[in-house]
Structure 1
Amino acid sequence: MAFLPKSISSVWTVSQHAECEQPMLRRLDVQIILLLSLILTTMISVFGWRIASRQSDLYVRTMAENARVLSATHAANAAHLLVVNEFAGLEEQMLEVARLPNILSINVMEMDGTVLCDLARPSLKAEPKLSYRRDKVAVPSRRDAIMLQENGRLVSWTPILAGKPLGWLKITFSLRAVEEMRESIWENILLMGTLWIVVGIGLMYLVLKPPLQAIRELSFFARDLNRHKGRQVNVARGAMEIDLLTDALNHASAELQAAEERLDAERERLSVTIRSIGEGVLACDREGRVMLMNRAAEVLTGWDATEAFGQPFDKVFRVADENTGEPITVPLQRIVEAGRAIEFVAHALLVARDGARRNIADSGAPIINAQGESIGVVIVFRDETEWLQAERARLELEGQLRQSQKMEAIGHLAGGIAHDFNNILTAIMGYSSMLIEMAGVDEQRRSVAEKILHASERASSLTRGLLAFSRKQKMEMQTVDLNAIIRNLEQMLRRIIGEDIDLKTDLAEGALLINADVSQIEQVMLNLVTNARDAMASGGLLSIVTLQTMMDASSREFEGTLPVTGSFALLCISDSGIGMDEATVQRIFEPFFTTKRTGKGTGLGLSIVHGIIQQHGGLIRVYSNEGIGTTFKIYLPLVADGEAVTAAVEDTPARGGNERILLVEDETEVRQVLKLMLQKGGYHVVEASDGDEAWELLQKDHTGIRLVVSDLIMPRMTGKELLDRIREHLPAIRVLFISGYTFDVIQYKGILEGEVDLLMKPFTANRFLTRVREALDR
C-alpha cells in the first residue's frame, strides 16, 4: 500500500487537469469517462490491495509456522546443553542458527532474564556477532511459547524445558522479504491497470460520441419546445433509444398546444375553488376520485396531493366516530343530489395516513360548473383537536376549582368553629365524667351521665373527623386491632340501625393490626353504618366482614392508585338497601353531594370517610346496584412484621396528688371545670385568666407550684411567651399546654417550637388528670 499514491499519481494529475476546464466537466461524455476511470482505478486498487494483503498474510503465517518449529527444535537442543552446562556448545549451536536467512538475532536467557547467549547482526547480509553481556532483560510472565509481530519483525519466545523451566530462547526474524513481495505485486498490478484504463477510455469515447451528440441536439429542441410549439426535430438516426426520444419529442410538440388550452381551463376552475375555501380543501369528481387538495388538507390527511390524485375519496379522507371509533362514510352522492352544502357529524375524528387521529369539523358542498351541473364535491374541514383539548382542560380545571372551593369552605367552617366547640365539649365532657364518679351505685344517674359523655365523645370525634378531612387536625396514630374496634362498636351500631335491620359480623381470625387513629376509624364506621341504615328504610341486612389480603399496584381493585403494596386489612360493609346508579357512585365522595332530601343530610359524611381513609394510607371503593344494595370496601395497610405493637387498653382511674398547680385559662367555663377536675384529684389550684396574670402570680409567690396548666393561645400574653419566661426564670416548674385550636392555626402562628407537652381539647377528667400526673412525675 505504501507504493499506491506514487503509482496512481498520473491518474490524479489527469483529473486535476480536467477540473481546470470547468465547462468540460458538465459534458456527459467527460463525466462518463472520468467515472469509468475512477471505477477502474478503484477496482485495480482494491484488487491490488487484496492480492498483496493475502499474499503477505500467507507469507507471514508460513514464516511464523517455520519459526515456531525452528524455535521449538533449538529450544530442546539448548535444554540439553544447559543441563550438562555446555555453554560453549550452546554458543556454537546458536551461531549456526543465527546464520540462517531472515534471522536478525538470537538470545538465550535464564528464567529471571539473565542473558546466557546474545547473537545479533545489523543486517541480513552481515555476519552474526556474539555479545558477552550478562545483564538482565524482561522476559514473558507466561510459561508457553509466544509469537509476536512488531516493528516489521517476527519475534519468537520459546521456553527451554528439561522437566522444569530452565530459561527462554528468543529468535527475531526479519519481515523485509514480505515488504519486497508486496512492492513487486503492486508494481505489476498497477502497470496492467494503467493499460486497462487507457484502452477502456478510448473505446468508451468512440462509442459515446455519436449518441451524445444527438442527445445534445434533442435537449436544445426540448428546451425551446414551449416557445416553438409544433416544430419538428431531425437528428442522425441510429440507437433505438435516440429514435424513440426523437419521436416522443415531436409528438409532444404537436400535443402541447391542445394540452395547454385544456390546462388553462382546468387551472381557472381549480383556482376559483381554492380561493373560495380558506381551510382544508379536498375536491373529488362524481365518481369519488380525488382531484384536488390544498396544503392544509395535505397536512391533516398525511397525503401528498400528487399521491392522492385519482385515489378513492374514502381512502384519503378517512373519518371515524369519536366515541365508538367506527368508520363514518361521507355521503358524497347525497351532496351531489342535494345540490347544497351539508354539515357532517360534529367533532368527528379524521384518521390520517400515519394513523394519527384529529378532531375535525367538516362540511361538504357540490362543485357547480357554468351549465349548473354538479361535476364533483368539495369537502372543507378544520382541525379542532387543540380547541377541544383546551375546552376539556378548562372544564376539568373548573371542576377542580369547584372541588377546591368546597374543601376550602369545609376547612374554614371546621377551623372557625373548632376552638369554641372544643371548649364547650371540654366543659360537657369534664362535668359528665365527674358526674359518673359522683353517681356511685346509682345506676340510673350513672347511665344518664355516661350517655352524655358518650354523646359528647361522638361530637368530639365528628369534629376531629371534619378537621382531619380538611387537613387541620393531627391524628393520634397508634397500633390497634381493627377487629377489636369493631367489637367495641358493635352494641352501639345495633342501637343505631334499629331492630328491623339484621346486623351480621364475620371477622377475620386473629388480630388485624393497623396504624390508625381509633376515633377516626370509629367515625368511618358510624358514617357508613348510618348511611346503610338510611338506605334500608323497610329493614334489611347489614353485614360487616374483615379479612387479610395481599395487594399490589397491578391489582384490579386499585386501578393503579395503590399508595403502598403488601398486606392489607380489608373491611367490607354491605347493605341490602336501594342501591345507587352509576352517576351517583361517581360523585359519592364529593363534598356537599347528597341524595337525601333537604334537612336529612349535609353531604359531608362520605367526604369525611374518604379523607380519613386517605390519611391512613388506605383506599376506599364503592360498588352498588339499584335495587340490590351497596358495598364499601376499605383497604388499610397492616403493621409490618417485627414492629412494636401497642395494645389498646381500657382507661384506668388516674392517680391524683396534693401538689400546687397554677391553672391559666381565659375561658371562664373551661377554667371552672378544669379547677374542679384538679381539686377532685386532690391538687391545690391557683387560678389565672391570662398569661399576664399568671406571670404576676408567679413573681409574687411561686412557692410550692410544681406545674403550670395553661391554655396555648390567649389574649395579651400567649402560653408560649409564658413558657419562655418560666424556662428562663423558674426552670424547675413544668408546663402542660391545653388548646382547642387546630394544629394548622398553632403552626401558622409559630407558637410551638421545639418539644412541649400539649393536650388537645376536648378531653375527659380521667385523661386530663392522667396527663397532669405524667407531667408532674416526668
Structure 2
Amino acid sequence: MNHYDRKPGSAAGGADESPMLPRWTRRLGMRLALLVALVLAAVIGVLALLAAEEFSSDAAGERELQAKALAQNIAAVTADDLLAENYASVEGVLVRSVSFPGVTGVWVSDRRGKVAAHVVRRGDEPPEVRLEPADLALPAEPRPMTVIDGGRLYAWHPITAGTLLGWARVEYSLEKIASIRRHIWAESLAAGLLAILASTALLLVFTRRPMRAIRRAADFAETLDARRGEQIPLERGSAEIEMLTRALNLASARLSAQEAAEAARARLAAILEATTDFVATADAEGRVLYYNAAARGMLGIGGDEDIRALRIPDTHPAWANDLVLGEGIPTAIREGVWGGETALLSRDGREIPVSQVIIAHKAPDGSVAFLSTIARDVTERKNLETQFRQAQKMEAVGRLAGGVAHDFNNMLTVINGYAEMLLGRMKPADPSRSEIAAIREAGERAASLTQQLLAFSRRQVVAPQVLSLNEIVSRTDKMLRRLIGEDVDLVTILAPALGPVRVDPGQMEQVIMNLAVNARDAMPDGGKLTIETADVEIAESYAREHAVAVPPGPYVLLAVSDTGCGMDAETLPRVFEPFFTTKGQGKGTGLGLSTVYGIVKQNAGYVWVYSEPGRGTTFKIYFPLAAETVEPLSGDDALRGETGGNETILLVEDDSAVRAFSIRVLRDRGYAVLEAKDGDEALAICDEYEGPIHLMITDVIMPGMSGRELAEHLARVCPNVKVLYVSGYTDNAIVH
C-alpha cells in the first residue's frame, strides 16, 4: 500500500471529522466552492433586491403623483356642483375619473365626511356607482395628502370655494407594481444561479490538484510519529505546497532525535504541575519563562494566560523585591543557591508570605543560563505565630493592668471612703463641701477606670447564667436609643429560637453598651447601627481564613456593625489594647474595647473585628452554645437593711491605709474590731481572744497565706466564724 494513500482515521480521511456532514462537503476545495457560491448568491440577491426596490420606489412615486393630480382635478371640477348639490354631475365626473389606469375607486364627500358620490371599478369591469350612504374618516387638516394602506394608495384633496366644501379621495391599486417587482426578482435569481454554477465549476477544476497535494501532506503529517525520518515527494507547481512539504520532511528528520528529550521533559513537567509549591523559571535578565499551576493560582494568573511580558519584580511586593534582587539572586549566582522568607504579590493585591529558594543554573562557560525558584506558602504558619504573639501581648498587658488596678483600688478605697465620711459630717452650707465632693467624684471616675482594667485583665468576679442574648439586646434597646442619639438609626436583627449561652448578663449589657458608644463616636454625622444575633457553626476553614483561634463547633453570634469612618490596617491590630484610642483629647479613655475583649474572654467567648476606612466596622462575638436551658434573668433590686451592730469582727488586711479606714468605718457602725495584717497574725488573735468572733473580713490576696487558706485554717479553730472576702481583684482565687 502506498504510504501516501489516504487511510481510515487520517486527518484527510475523516475519522475525526463530523459524521453529521457528507464526505464531499468536508473537503477544502468543495468548501471553497460553496463559499464562493454563497458569496455570489448573497451579492446577486442584494443587487436584485436593490433593483426591485428601486423600481418599486419609482413606480410608487409616479403613482403618488398621478393620484395627487387626479384628486386635485376632481376637487376643482366638482366644487361648483357640490356647492349646488348637483350630485348627478359629480357622479359623471367620478365615472370618467375611475377609467384612468390603476384607479379602483373615487369618492366625493361633504366637509363632515358624508359621501356625496362614490364610484368603483374592479379589473376590466365597467365603473359602478355605489349608492349606499357612508361616512369617511377625514384627514385631521384640510390639505392634500397621500396614504398607503393594504397594498393601495389613497390621495386626498380638499374641495374649496372660498371655504371648505368637502373632500375628494382617489384609490389606486399597487398590485401591478408588486407583480413587476416579483418578476424582476425571478429573472435576477435565475441569472445569479447560472453565474454560481459556472463559477463553482471553474473553482473546482482549478483547485483539484493543489487540494490533492494538501491531503497527501496532511496524511503524512498525521502519521509523522511512525515514519521516523521518511520523506514525502515534492509536489511541483505551488510554492506554498512545496514549502509545506519541505517543512514536514524536516520535522520528520528531527522527530526521532527529539523524542527522548520530549519524554523526559514531559515527566518533569508532570511533576512540577502536580506539586502544590510555587515553581518558576526566569532567564538571566529576569524575564519569566515558566509558572507551574500552583504558581499561577497563587498569583491569580489564568492557566492559558501569556506570561512572557512578566519579570521577577512583578511577582513580589516592594520590600520582598529588595531582598530577592539585592540579596537572593546575587547570592544564588555566587554560591549556587539562596534561601529565605519573602512574599509573593497576587493580582488582587494580597501579599502571600513564602519560604523561598532561588537556584542559579550555569552554562558550560560559567554564565547564568537561567534561574529557578521554589516557594512554599507559609500563611497559615504566620497566622498562628501572629495569634500566639497577640495572645502573649494581651496576657502580659492584662497581668500588668490587673496588678495596677489592684493597687489603685486599695488607694481609691481610702480616698473615696474618707471623702464620703467627710461629706456625711458636713452641713450643706459648709464652704469646703464642694471641694470634698470634687475629690469624691474624681475618685469614683478613677474607680470606674480600675473596674474597666479589671474587666480587660479578666479579674472581675462573674456570675454566669444560662440565657438568650436576644433578651439582653431587648433589655438594652431603650437605653441604647437614648445613648446613641436620634441621628443614628438602631436596627436589631434577632434570630428566632436563638440558642442559649452561659455568660454574665450584666457584663453582656456592658459589652453591648461599649460597642454602641464606640459605633456612635465613629458616626459623628449619623448613620446606622445594627445589632444581630444568630446561631452559627464554625468550621476549621473559617478560622484559618479569618486568622482567629476559634475551635470548630456550634456558637451563638452577637454582631455589632456601624456605617462609620472605619479603621485602617495599622489601627485594627491595636483596637483592644488598653488606653489606645484614635479619639481626640478628653473624648475617650481607650478602655471601652479593652473591656469588651476582657469580658468576652472571661465568658469563654471569642471576638473578631473587620473594618474598612469609609465603610464602617463590624464586631463579631462568638459564645459557645450552652447545653442547659435558659434561666430567667434576675432583677436588679437588692435587699437593703440597716447597717451597724455590736458584734465582734476580725479584720485581716495587709494594706495599712485600707485597714485603718475599714476599722474606722466598722467602729463608727458600733462593731468591735480586731485587726491583723496577715493570716498568721489573724490565727494568733483567734487563739488569744477569749470572746466570740462573729465575722472575719479578709483580703483575698495577701503575702504568705491567702484569704481562702486563712479561712480554711480558721474553720478548724473557730468553726462558727463567718467569712467575708474583699479584694481589689480576685484572680479567681475564690471562685475556683
> 1:283 is paired with a residue of what secondary structure?
strand
Query: 1:343 maps to what in 2?
Result: 339
Residues 449 and 199 of structure 1: is their aligned pair in 2 closer, same or farther, counting only changes over 3 Å? closer
The answer to whether the 8 Å contact 2:316/2:344 transfers is yes
Aligned counterparts of 1:453 and 1:180: Cα–Cα separation in 2? 113
Is 1:593 matched up with 2:579?
Answer: yes
After TM superposition, give the deviation of residue 282 of structure 1 in Å: 0.7
After TM superposition, give the deviation of residue 204 of structure 1 in Å: 0.9
Query: 2:295 maps to what in 1?
Result: 297
After TM superposition, give the deviation of residue 67 of structure 1 in Å: 2.4
Residues 204 and 272 of structure 1: is their aligned pair in 2 closer, same or farther, counting only changes over 3 Å? closer
The answer to whether the 8 Å contact 2:579/2:590 transfers is no
The answer to whether the 8 Å contact 1:64/1:147 transfers is yes
* Residue type of the alignment partner of 1:363: V
> 1:49 is paired with a residue of what secondary structure?
helix
Query: 2:101 maps to what in 1?
Result: 101
Aligned counterparts of 2:192 and 2:136: Cα–Cα separation in 1? 50
Query: 2:282 maps to what in 1?
Result: 284
The answer to whether the 8 Å contact 1:118/1:132 transfers is yes
Query: 1:607 maps to what in 2?
Result: 588
> 2:166 is paired with a residue of what secondary structure?
strand
> 1:219 is paired with a residue of what secondary structure?
helix
Listed as ranges, the gaps of 5+ residues in structure 1 are 1-18, 404-424, 437-444, 479-513, 517-557, 566-582, 596-603, 612-664, 671-778
Query: 2:700 maps to what in 1?
Result: none
After TM superposition, give the deviation of residue 69 of structure 1 in Å: 3.7
After TM superposition, give the deviation of residue 166 of structure 1 in Å: 3.0
Aligned counterparts of 2:215 and 2:168: Cα–Cα separation in 1? 75
Aligned counterparts of 1:214 and 1:255: Cα–Cα separation in 2? 23
> 2:359 is paired with a residue of what secondary structure?
strand
Aligned counterparts of 1:267 and 1:585: Cα–Cα separation in 2? 50
> 2:431 is paired with a residue of what secondary structure?
helix
Is 1:24 matched up with 2:24?
Answer: yes
After TM superposition, give the deviation of residue 202 of structure 1 in Å: 1.4
Query: 2:164 maps to what in 1?
Result: 165
Residues 131 and 245 of structure 1: is their aligned pair in 2 closer, same or farther, counting only changes over 3 Å? same
The answer to whether the 8 Å contact 1:587/1:593 transfers is no
Aligned counterparts of 1:145 and 1:402: Cα–Cα separation in 2? 100
Aligned counterparts of 1:226 and 1:350: Cα–Cα separation in 2? 43
Residues 297 and 108 of structure 1: is their aligned pair in 2 closer, same or farther, counting only changes over 3 Å? same
Q: 1:736-755 residue pairs with structure 2 within 5 A?
A: none
Aligned counterparts of 1:228 and 1:584: Cα–Cα separation in 2? 67
Is 1:563 matched up with 2:558?
Answer: no
* Residue type of the alignment partner of 2:332: I
The answer to whether the 8 Å contact 2:578/2:591 transfers is no
Aligned counterparts of 1:36 and 1:201: Cα–Cα separation in 2? 7
After TM superposition, give the deviation of residue 87 of structure 1 in Å: 2.6
Aligned counterparts of 1:69 and 1:40: Cα–Cα separation in 2? 43
Q: 1:759-774 residue pairs with structure 2 within 5 A?
A: none
Question: Percent identity of the aligned residues?
Answer: 23
After TM superposition, give the deviation of residue 272 of structure 1 in Å: 8.8
The answer to whether the 8 Å contact 2:288/2:311 transfers is no
* Residue type of the alignment partner of 1:593: F
* Residue type of the alignment partner of 2:372: V
Name the TM-score, length of structure 1 as normaliser: 0.48
> 2:108 is paired with a residue of what secondary structure?
strand
> 1:190 is paired with a residue of what secondary structure?
helix
* Residue type of the alignment partner of 2:226: R
Query: 1:216 maps to what in 2?
Result: 215
Residues 301 and 78 of structure 1: is their aligned pair in 2 closer, same or farther, counting only changes over 3 Å? farther
* Residue type of the alignment partner of 2:352: N
After TM superposition, give the deviation of residue 584 of structure 1 in Å: 14
Question: Cα deviations across residues 700-736 of structure 1 (Å, max 9, x unaligned)?
Answer: xxxxxxxxxxxxxxxxxxxxxxxxxxxxxxxxxxxxx
1:359 to 352, 361, 376: 352
> 2:230 is paired with a residue of what secondary structure?
coil
Query: 2:176 maps to what in 1?
Result: 177
Residues 259 and 589 of structure 1: is their aligned pair in 2 closer, same or farther, counting only changes over 3 Å? closer
Residues 137 and 212 of structure 1: is their aligned pair in 2 closer, same or farther, counting only changes over 3 Å? same
Query: 1:319 maps to what in 2?
Result: 316
After TM superposition, give the deviation of residue 104 of structure 1 in Å: 1.4
Aligned counterparts of 1:232 and 1:147: Cα–Cα separation in 2? 79
Query: 1:736 maps to what in 2?
Result: none
The answer to whether the 8 Å contact 1:360/1:381 transfers is no
Q: 1:541-690 residue pairs with structure 2 within 5 A?
A: 561-564=523-526, 593=579, 606-607=587-588
Is 1:253 matched up with 2:215?
Answer: no
> 2:203 is paired with a residue of what secondary structure?
helix
Listed as ranges, the gaps of 5+ residues in structure 2 are 1-18, 398-418, 456-475, 488-519, 528-568, 593-637, 644-736
Query: 1:377 maps to what in 2?
Result: 371
Aligned counterparts of 1:191 and 1:131: Cα–Cα separation in 2? 45
Aligned counterparts of 2:107 and 2:282: Cα–Cα separation in 1? 92
The answer to whether the 8 Å contact 1:321/1:348 transfers is no
* Residue type of the alignment partner of 2:228: K
Query: 1:131 maps to what in 2?
Result: 130
The answer to whether the 8 Å contact 1:464/1:473 transfers is no
Q: 1:686-701 residue pairs with structure 2 within 5 A?
A: none
After TM superposition, give the deviation of residue 186 of structure 1 in Å: 0.8
Aligned counterparts of 1:216 and 1:293: Cα–Cα separation in 2? 38
> 1:136 is paired with a residue of what secondary structure?
coil
Name the TM-score, length of structure 2 as normaliser: 0.51
Q: 1:513-524 residue pairs with structure 2 within 5 A?
A: none
Residues 125 and 192 of structure 1: is their aligned pair in 2 closer, same or farther, counting only changes over 3 Å? same
The answer to whether the 8 Å contact 1:282/1:297 transfers is yes
- Across the aligned residues of Structure 1 and Structure 2, the Cα RMSD in angstroms comes to 5.7
Aligned counterparts of 1:83 and 1:25: Cα–Cα separation in 2? 77
> 1:251 is paired with a residue of what secondary structure?
helix
Aligned counterparts of 2:162 and 2:393: Cα–Cα separation in 1? 92
Residues 323 and 118 of structure 1: is their aligned pair in 2 closer, same or farther, counting only changes over 3 Å? farther
Residues 97 and 515 of structure 1: is their aligned pair in 2 closer, same or farther, counting only changes over 3 Å? closer
After TM superposition, give the deviation of residue 79 of structure 1 in Å: 3.7
Aligned counterparts of 1:559 and 1:328: Cα–Cα separation in 2? 46
After TM superposition, give the deviation of residue 215 of structure 1 in Å: 1.6
Question: Cα deviations across residues 561-580 of structure 1 (Å, max 9, x unaligned)?
Answer: 44249xxxxxxxxxxxxxxx
Question: Cα deviations across residues 239-260 of structure 1 (Å, max 9, x unaligned)?
Answer: 2222222222222222222333
Aligned counterparts of 2:375 and 2:313: Cα–Cα separation in 1? 13
Q: 1:374-413 residue pairs with structure 2 within 5 A?
A: 376-382=370-376
Q: 1:58-207 residue pairs with structure 2 within 5 A?
A: 58-121=58-121, 123-207=122-206
Residues 136 and 235 of structure 1: is their aligned pair in 2 closer, same or farther, counting only changes over 3 Å? same
Aligned counterparts of 1:55 and 1:234: Cα–Cα separation in 2? 59
Is 1:447 matched up with 2:431?
Answer: yes
The answer to whether the 8 Å contact 1:589/1:607 transfers is no
